[in-house]
Amino acid sequence: MRVLGTAGHVDHGKSTLVRALTGIDPDRLAEEKQREMTIDLGFAWFSAPSGEMVGLVDVPGHRDFIENMLAGIGGIDAVLFIIAADEGVMPQTREHLAIVDLLGISGGIIVMTKCDMVNDADWLDLVETEIHDTVQNTVLANAPIIRISAHTGAGMDSLKSAIFGLLTSLPFRSSNQSPRLPIDRAFTLSGFGTVVTGTLLDGSLKIGDEVELQPSGQKGKIRGLHSYNQPVEIAQAGSRTAVNITGIDKNMIRRGETLTLPKRLSPTQRVDAYFRHLPDVERPLKHNAQIKFFCGTDEALGSVRLLNDEQLNTGAEGWIQLELTTPIAVLYGDKFILRYPSPAQTIGGGMIVNPHPARRWKRFTPSIIEKLESQRLGTPQQRLAHLAEKIEPVKKTALHHTSGLNETDFESVLKTALDEALIIEIAFNQYMAMKTENDLMNKMHILITDFQSQNPLKAGIPREELRSRLGVKPQVFSYLLGEAPNLVITDTIVHTDGHHIEFTDAQQKLVTKLMNTMDENPFTPPTIQEAIDMIGAPLVQALVDYGELIAINKDIIFSQHAFVALLDGAIELLNRDGQVDVKTMREKFNTTRKYLIPFFEHTDRLGYTKRVGDVRVKGDKAH
């Protein structure tokens, strides 16, 4: 199914032409009929010789209603660009042409209307020459020009033949992608309830589907579908569609929202885009300029950040980041128009490259521009990898929905991205860009080495501190530790391979003094506080971190070899007698309950022993 749109000046006879083609008056409003002027969007349809239904969207031509025109022209497949023979190209004609060109509507026919109003053949030739000159370097440069009179019928057969020929050359819209219906009207019908209409851009809708409006997030269910005034079970991509929804009140719906399936679109107030400034705008586009954004049937106020330019001169192109005051719902590749709010003027447009930027980009950063260029011009797998450039894993379903690819293409592109190591799977159906992994790995290495440099008396950085500084959740952190080379990882700390504590000469003397004291009475050593009083807390903590001292609770420490001797002795007794108690260990090692009770509590926690009444038996780790 196809949708055509009209464009051109207000007095060039668009509505008259639509009536002549379809027999339907597209002007719905009493004011439109009274003023003989299209104010809001009008809709009509006709059947092609193939039996295919063709929709016609009649958009306003007057400059006072250009924003209504923008709400209707975004979803069309081709344009009937109308220019009156008695007036020729007018300023509003040029603005409509600029919008068609910016939106990339390459299919089109230029219709010279009101030819019955001109008796001079030379004048008609002159107007046609002017049209040729005007459309050069635009998407309509090769469009045929058909001379007609809707009143007399002259040229209408030629126009219809040209339309039918154009329809056969247009590419089909994909029915495999997620459906998107930008809403241009919302109303209620007695006995039916809420109805919304629009052009179904992608995918298909069927009765009974659970649906969602974005960016509002309201949910409902499809009760009925109409296409070209006929009830249908399934609405196909490219058709004008009316959807009867239950669960959403008409008063809660506005023009500009998009009807889709749940969780297929997510709202955003910031987008990255490639922008083309029109050549005939009076002033350059400046950084932080206030603008009005139009995409599909939606619009929003906002500001434009120039990412690589001080200002964009007329006719120039460049990268922008739009900051919008209200949410929108868009995808990669969507075309948009920018206008100045006051005085109202179309200034340019372009293509959305990233609908969900990670942050507000720093201006004049070559790496950012390089990344954006890659997203715009890169392969599908490169673009998919850019969507996965987040520090948290992206679920497969979310990656699919934001990609804008149909299911078959998505699976193929994802496989290629994995094969080319552009994307990695860090957990089942959860993905991350390889660039993000590399960035996080580099950051983690810097954090570890910096910590070691700034804390020479620590064996390594605490694991949780490292994760917090890295800014990732436990799942990603565990993955990174598992993949990181040249690291030593314990239950509590992380350090680089080969890292060890180095004491100064003065510190080493204090350490030697403490260790000698510990060796003098290895099983009745100084307490932690006594050790701190001798050499200071940092050195004691360093010896604990390094494993030279074993802290079994907040008061008691043993040297490493004394602790091992006690543990070996306990296991020896367990192997001989099947159990061990404090009294036996006290006699064997000439120590006291002060040390042995904390020792056994510690070995219980480690799993070497297990308390049964007043004795210990073997734990799971005992050999």
Mind listing the pLDDT tens digit for each residue in 260-282?
A: 999 888 899 999 999 999 998 98
CATH topology for 181-260 is Elongation Factor Tu (Ef-tu); domain 3 (2.40.30)
Rounded Cα distance, 154 and 156, in Å = 6
**Residue 203, Ramachandran bin (φ over 0: left; ψ between -120 and 50: alpha; else beta):** left
Q: What is the pLDDT of residue 422?
A: 96
- Beta carbons within 8 Å of 576's beta carbon, 6+ residues apart: none
What is the mean predicted confidence (pLDDT) over 1-13? 65
409: confidence class by pLDDT, cuts 50, 70, 90: confident
Q: What is the pLDDT of residues 523-538, one digit of tens each?
A: 999 999 999 999 999 9
Burial of 496 (0-12, 13-18, 19+ CB in 10 A): middle
Mean pLDDT (whole number) for 72-78: 80
Of 41-50, 131-140, 560-569, where does mean pLDDT reach its minimum? 41-50
Element (H, E) at 567: helix 560-577
Query: Buried b vs exposed e over 12-30: b needs ≥16 C-beta within 10 Å?
Result: bbbbbbbbbbbeeebbbee
Question: Does residue 105 contact residue 78 with C-beta atoms inside 8 Å?
Answer: yes
**Structure letter (DSSP) for residue 379:** -
Residue 313: the pLDDT is 95
As annotated, the residues of the chain forming the CATH 2.40.30.10 domain(s) are: 181-260, 268-368
Which residues face 291 on adjacent strands? Answer: 302
Structure tokens at 595: 């040390």
Q: Where are the domain boundaries for CATH 1.10.10.10 in the chain?
A: 436-496, 505-618
pLDDT at 502: 81
Q: How confident is the model at residue 35 (pLDDT cuts 50, 70, 90)?
A: very low
Average pLDDT over residues 134-155: 93
The pLDDT-based confidence of 40 (bands split at 50, 70, 90) is low
User: 161-165 long-range contacts, Cβ below 8 Å, gap at least 24?
Assistant: 162/109, 163/4, 163/21, 163/54, 163/80, 163/109, 164/48, 164/49
CATH of domain 2-169: 3.40.50.300
Rounded distance, CA 616 to CA 622, Å? 12
pLDDT at 14 > cutoff 90: no
Looking at residue 64, what is its pLDDT? 46
Q: Residue 37 has what pLDDT?
A: 40
Under the banding of pLDDT at 50, 70 and 90, the label for residue 91 is confident
Burial class (CB in 10 A: 0-12, 13-18, 19+), 323: middle
Cα–Cα distance for residue pair 225/240, rounded to 1 Å: 11
Average pLDDT over residues 99-127: 92
How much of the chain exceeds pLDDT 70, in percent?
94
Asked if the model's pLDDT at residue 109 lies above 80, the reply is: yes
Class of the 436-496 domain?
mainly alpha
pTM of the full structure: 0.72
Q: What is the pLDDT of residues 201-224, one digit of tens each?
A: 888 999 999 999 999 999 999 999
pLDDT at 476: 95
Residue with more model confidence, 52 or 262: 262
Token pair 């790995």 in the structure block, residue: 441
Stretch 161-171: mean pLDDT, rounded? 89
Distance, in Å, from the CA atom of 611 to the CA atom of 327, rounded to the nearest integer, reads 62
Query: Which of these ranges, 63-67, 296-300, 595-599, has the smallest mean pLDDT?
Result: 63-67
Question: What would the mean pLDDT of 594-618 be, rounded to a whole number?
Answer: 95
- Strand bridging mode 615-618 / 609-612: antiparallel
What is the pLDDT, as a whole number, of residue 547?
A: 86
Residue 565's nearest CA partner among 585, 580, 546 is 585
The band of 28, judged by pLDDT with boundaries at 50, 70 and 90, is low
State pLDDT tens for residues 458-511: 889 999 999 999 999 999 999 999 999 999 998 889 999 988 888 889 999 999
Give the least confident one: 53-62, 242-251, 432-441. 53-62
How high is the pLDDT of residue 38? Answer: 43
Give mean pLDDT, residues 115-128: 93
Indicate the pLDDT class of residue 129, thresholds 50, 70 and 90: very high
Tokens 């994760």: give the residue.
467
Q: In which residue ranges of the chain is CATH 3.40.50.300 found?
A: 2-169
pLDDT of residue 29: 43
> Using CA atoms, how far apart are residues 351 and 275, in angstroms rounded to an integer?
7
d(CA 328, CA 168): 34
Cβ–Cβ < 8 Å for 215, 267: yes
- With a cut of 90, say whether residue 194 has pLDDT above it: yes
Helices (H) and strands (E) in the chain, counts: 19, 33
Question: Residue 34: which pLDDT band, with cuts at 50, 70 and 90?
Answer: very low
16 versus 470: the higher-pLDDT residue is 470
**CA–CA–CA angle 610, 615, 617 (5° rounding):** 40
Q: What is the dihedral of CA 525, 530, 534, 539, to 10 degrees?
A: 80
pLDDT at 126: 96
The 10s digit of each residue's pLDDT in 549-604 is 999 999 999 999 999 999 999 999 999 999 999 999 999 999 999 999 999 999 99
Residue 69 has pLDDT above 80, yes or no: no
CATH class of 268-368: mainly beta
Confidence check: pLDDT of 17 > 60:
yes
Residue 424 has pLDDT above 50, yes or no: yes
Closest CA to 263 of 335, 210, 225, 184: 210
Q: How confident is the model at residue 343 (pLDDT cuts 50, 70, 90)?
A: confident
Share of the chain above pLDDT 90, in %: 66
**How many CB atoms neighbour CB 407 within 10 A?**
11
Q: 26 and 18 in contact (C-beta within 8 Å)?
A: yes
Residue 4 has pLDDT above 80, yes or no: no
pLDDT at 175: 65
Nearest residue to 472 (alpha-carbon basis) of 481, 459, 484: 481
- Average pLDDT across the chain, whole number: 89
* pLDDT band at 11; cut points 50, 70, 90: very low
| Position 10 pLDDT exceeds 70 | no
* DSSP state string for 254-309: -TT-EEESTTS---EEEEEEEEEE-TT-SSPEETTEEEEEEETTEEEEEEEEESS-
In this predicted structure, which of 66-70, 296-300, 423-427 has the lowest mean pLDDT?
A: 66-70
CATH architecture assigned to 505-618: Orthogonal Bundle (1.10)
pLDDT at 62: 46
Q: Does the structure show a pLDDT above 60 at 33?
A: no
Contact indicator for 292, 341 with CB cutoff of 8 Å: yes
What pLDDT, on a 0 to 100 scale, did the predictor assign at position 36?
43
